[in-house]
Amino acid sequence: MVSTALIEVRNLVNRFDKHTVHDGVNLSIYENEILGIVGGSGTGKSVLLRTMLGLREATSGEVRVFGEDIACRNSSGNLAQCQNRWGVLFQGGALFSGLTVLENVMAPILEHIDISHAFAEELARLKLSMVGLGEVAYFKFPAELSGGMVKRVALARALALEPRMVFLDEPTSGLDPISAAEFDELILYLRDHLNLTVAMISHDMDSLLTICDRLAVIVDKKVIADKKDVIVAHPHPWIREYFGGVRGRASTRAA
Amino acid sequence: MPQVIETPYFTYAITGDTGNFAMKGDWSILNLSQLESQVDALDLARSGTVAVDFQCGGLEQFDLSGAWLLYRTAERLRDKGLDTRFEGFRAEHLQFIEDVLNIEKSRPSSRPIRTIPKAIWDISTSAIRTFSRETHNRGLWFMAIGRGIISIVLNPRKFRWIATARHIQDAGISALGIVALMAFLVALVLGFQGRAQLAQLGAQIFTIDLVAISVLREMGGLLTAVLVAGRSGSAYAAEIGVMQLNEEVSAMETMGINPYETLIIPRMIALLICLPLLTFVADVAGLLGTLMMATTMLDLPASLAIDRFLSLDPFNHFRAGMIKAPFFALVIGMIGTYRGFFVERSADAVGRNTTAAVVESIFMVIAVDAMFSMLFTEIGW
């Protein structure tokens, strides 16, 4: 089966003053896959993510989202349409601190869909149950939640508008290995049940090697993306060191 | 005879005692608004109907939200004793809804129930808790400050000269222009209003008394303190609050650096130095404003206006205004840094505490000013 690309990045260049972060990045994200984005600190993983989301304007190059060029977002309402079709889980959760958990998940629904408050609440509860959160959490404020719960609420909020695709920025960072593994399971379960496409930035070797279908590595200001097995065996020295290091070996052995 | 109801999202036909609900189009979240109202408007359980068949032949898009609406509709029918049948559905959607509902049903509802007595009880206990926490924190704060001062007195090398100098720059030097301009304008405004009233009594010359004494005794010090509370008191609460949230303060403590010595004492010292000096600047600018008011509005020659001013025993008034400045500085510095130090751990707390710092310190400045007024009346200054 030939899958279609939901996101296509072509010859992307990102430059801060004289410092070039990306120099000709090409990357496609295909339907229904889980793509892991890997790179050393400061190689521009978050910059790439922000460019794909349209939060940052690229120095040059093209980002096509669901077949439309994101660069022309100013002239038409393209981006607004996209925003209904993707969800984002920010690294720190980015929950609205003044709203309860339930209100956080209801916020995008009430903003975009003209339905009754009670129905929106039912949908929000559905989403929260889906990520494994019980009633106890619904009326708490973000400041009262543990790190793992914040990530789950943020994921429920990202899924509130039934997106076709979610971006996850370090979904398992700051979680203990057991919670991280549960979160990985959750991502996999949602992908299979909701037909989701997932792009995640991660340093968690376990999630990269267990749930991702493909890996995209940012090295030398470019992206090398391929099937998991191909990337793990890639001859590039940084990639070899990354996956061949002690921690990487422990993970492959476990898998 | 079959009845048929046709909408963009479904066709509902009744044959005998069976309803036939044929879904079509996009049952997705984007259409949920119309879907909800159309489905709710339909009385599926009208008399005589004992079963409803749901068919999804014409269904194009179907997502979790659409599935939830369908499930909810079917659930309501079942509650009324009707039979529901699903035909031709993609199994994963139904399975998924079942999964989620199992999770949902296994949990007891724990929405907090609020009754009026309980609300009153909650509010009063939380007020008592807040009060005792604040008292406790203030106690801690004064003790820590005391320890900080003692340790600096015993070991003056610990005093942070550079930090203090930076705070003098921020709180004092950069406030010079605005303080001088404000005092000058206040003198002009007072003169303008005073002359209008006093002229009715033919006592324009007393406008000089009015303005000069007001500026020296009250306006110079009070308005400078209010301005500094808004500029520096809020900045202290915000700066220290952010450091606290960033765990910078905890980091200092683990390194054996006393945060009170490094963060609070330099700020307090800077304010204690700056506020009297700023008050002095405000006094000078206010007197210049008085002079300008006298020469332009009262048409007095400058020498006559100055003579009049000197006859008022200006040093006495200057002293009464000036002596309050260090107390204002203490109030502003204490409230600003306290509000920064005892910030709760949430994102909007810094903003709330900054506002609280400004409001409290302006209020306390005015309260202190009132106490001094009473004191000065008693001792005849």
Assembly ipTM: 0.74
Asked if residue B297 belongs to a domain, the reply is yes
How far is the C-alpha of A31 from the C-alpha of B34, rounded, in Å? 29
> Are the Cβ atoms of B68 and A161 closer than 8 angstroms?
no
Beta-sheet strands, E only, within chain A: 5-16, 19-30, 34-39, 60-65, 68-69, 86-89, 165-169, 197-201, 214-219, 222-227
Per-residue pLDDT of chain A (255 residues; tens, 9 = 90+): 456 788 888 888 888 877 888 888 888 888 888 998 888 888 888 888 888 887 777 788 888 877 666 654 544 455 555 556 788 888 887 888 788 898 899 888 888 788 888 888 888 888 888 888 877 888 888 888 888 888 889 988 888 888 888 898 888 887 888 888 888 888 888 888 777 889 999 888 888 888 888 888 888 888 888 887 788 877 888 888 888 765 555 565 555
Asked if residue B218 belongs to a domain, the reply is yes
Rg (CA), chain A: 18
* In the predicted structure, residue B377 carries a pLDDT above the cut 60: yes
End-to-end distance of chain A based on CA atoms, in angstroms?
A: 27
Retrieve residue B332's tokens.
Answer: 């502003």
Helix (H) or strand (E) holding B201: none
State the pLDDT at residue A76: 47
> Are the Cβ atoms of B64 and A98 closer than 8 angstroms?
no
Work out the angle at residue B24's Cα, subtended by the Cα atoms of residues B18 and B25, and round it to the nearest 5 degrees: 160
State the pLDDT at residue B29: 80
* In the predicted structure, residue B335 carries a pLDDT above the cut 90: yes
> Are the Cβ atoms of B96 and A97 closer than 8 angstroms?
no
How far is the C-alpha of B168 from the C-alpha of B174, rounded, in Å? 9
How far is the C-alpha of B381 from the C-alpha of B377, rounded, in Å? 7
Which residues have CB under 8 Å from B162's CB, separation 6+?
none
To probe the interface with A, which of B27, B61, B64 has the most A CB atoms within 10 Å? B64
Say if residue B130 is in the same domain as residue B142: yes
> Are the Cβ atoms of A135 and B109 closer than 8 angstroms?
yes
> Are the Cβ atoms of B96 and A162 closer than 8 angstroms?
no
pLDDT in tens, B344-375: 776 678 888 999 999 999 999 999 999 999 99
* In the predicted structure, residue B278 carries a pLDDT above the cut 60: yes
> Are the Cβ atoms of B345 and A143 closer than 8 angstroms?
yes
> Are the Cβ atoms of B344 and A143 closer than 8 angstroms?
yes
State the pLDDT at residue A1: 43
B38 is in which domain, residue-wise?
A: 3-105
Say if residue B123 is in the same domain as residue B12: no
What is the percentage of chain B residues whose pLDDT exceeds 90?
41
* In the predicted structure, residue B137 carries a pLDDT above the cut 70: yes
Say if residue B273 is in the same domain as residue B347: yes
To probe the interface with B, which of A193, A195, A196 has the most B CB atoms within 10 Å? A193
Say if residue B201 is in the same domain as residue B311: yes
Say if residue B370 is in the same domain as residue B293: yes
Residues of B in contact with A156 (CB under 8 A): none
Which CATH number belongs to the domain containing residue A115 in this structure? 3.40.50.300
Q: Of B124, B157, B190, which marks where a domain is finished?
A: B157
Distance from CA of B124 to the nearest CA of A (A): 21
How far is the C-alpha of B22 from the C-alpha of B2, rounded, in Å? 14
Say if residue B23 is in the same domain as residue B46: yes
pLDDT in tens, B213-270: 999 999 999 999 999 999 999 999 999 999 888 888 888 888 878 888 888 999 999 9
Asked if residue B111 belongs to a domain, the reply is no
State the pLDDT at residue B64: 77
Which CATH number belongs to the domain containing residue B92 in this structure? 3.30.750.24
State the pLDDT at residue B213: 93
Average per-residue pLDDT for chain B:
86
Q: How confident is the model at residue B324 (pLDDT cuts 50, 70, 90)?
A: very high
State the pLDDT at residue B144: 84
A13 phi and psi angles, rounded to 5 deg: -125, 130
End-to-end distance of chain B based on CA atoms, in angstroms?
A: 103
Say if residue B94 is in the same domain as residue B35: yes
A58 is in which domain, residue-wise?
A: 5-254
pLDDT in tens, B28-70: 787 888 888 888 777 766 667 778 888 777 777 777 778 788 8
Say if residue B76 is in the same domain as residue B164: no
Which residues have CB under 8 Å from A197's CB, separation 6+?
A6, A29, A30, A31, A32, A33, A34, A164, A165, A166, A191
* In the predicted structure, residue B91 carries a pLDDT above the cut 60: yes
State the pLDDT at residue B12: 81
Contact between A101 and A128 under an 8 Å Cβ cutoff? The reply is yes
> How many structural domains is chain A composed of?
1
Q: Taking CB atoms and an 8 Å cut-off, how many pairs form between chains A and B?
A: 61
Say if residue B270 is in the same domain as residue B125: no
Residues of B in contact with A125 (CB under 8 A): 104
Residues of A in contact with B36 (CB under 8 A): 115-116, 119
Contact between B268 and B330 under an 8 Å Cβ cutoff? The reply is yes
Asked if residue B28 belongs to a domain, the reply is yes
Q: What is the mean pLDDT of residues B269-273?
A: 95
Say if residue B83 is in the same domain as residue B208: no
Asked if residue B110 belongs to a domain, the reply is no
Say if residue B71 is in the same domain as residue B148: no
Taking Cα atoms as reference points, which of A236, A193, A200 lies closest to residue A216? A200
Asked if residue B139 belongs to a domain, the reply is yes
State the pLDDT at residue B47: 62
> How many structural domains is chain B composed of?
3
Asked if residue B70 belongs to a domain, the reply is yes
Say if residue B246 is in the same domain as residue B282: yes
What is the percentage of chain B residues whose pLDDT exceeds 70?
91
Taking Cα atoms as reference points, which of B364, B354, B359 lies closest to residue B240? B354
